[in-house]
Amino acid sequence: MLDFILGALLMLVLVWVRLRFFGFGAQRPADYRDESGQFDIRQKLNGPILCEGVIYGPTGRVMSRFVGDFDASWDGNRGVMKEFFQYESGSEEHREWSLTLDNQGNIRATAPDVIGEGIGRQSGPTVQLRYRIRLPEDAGGHVLTVNDWMYLAPNGTIVNRSQFRKFGLKVAELVATMRPKEPA
Say if residue 2 is exposed, middle or buried (CB neighbours under 10 Å; 0-12, 13-18, 19+). exposed
pTM attached to this predicted model: 0.84
Superfamily of domain 30-180: Calycin beta-barrel core domain (2.40.128.20)
Instruction: State how far the Cα of 124 lies from the Cα of 4, in Å rounded to an integer.
Output: 46
CA-based R_g, the chain, Å: 18
Q: Tell me what pLDDT residue 97 has.
A: 98
Q: Pick the closest to residue 100 from 76, 124, 127 (CA basis).
A: 76
Residue ranges per structural domain of the chain: 30-180
Instruction: State how far the Cα of 136 lies from the Cα of 107, in Å rounded to an integer.
Output: 25
Q: Tell me what pLDDT residue 20 has.
A: 59
Measured CA distances, 59 to 36, 89, 167 (Å): 35, 20, 17
Say if residue 18 is exposed, middle or buried (CB neighbours under 10 Å; 0-12, 13-18, 19+). exposed
Q: Pick the closest to residue 178 from 24, 38, 68 (CA basis).
A: 68
Walking along the chain (184 residues) 10 residues at a time, the average pLDDT comes out as 78 68 70 82 96 96 97 97 96 96 96 96 95 88 95 95 93 97 81
Q: Tell me what pLDDT residue 182 has.
A: 85
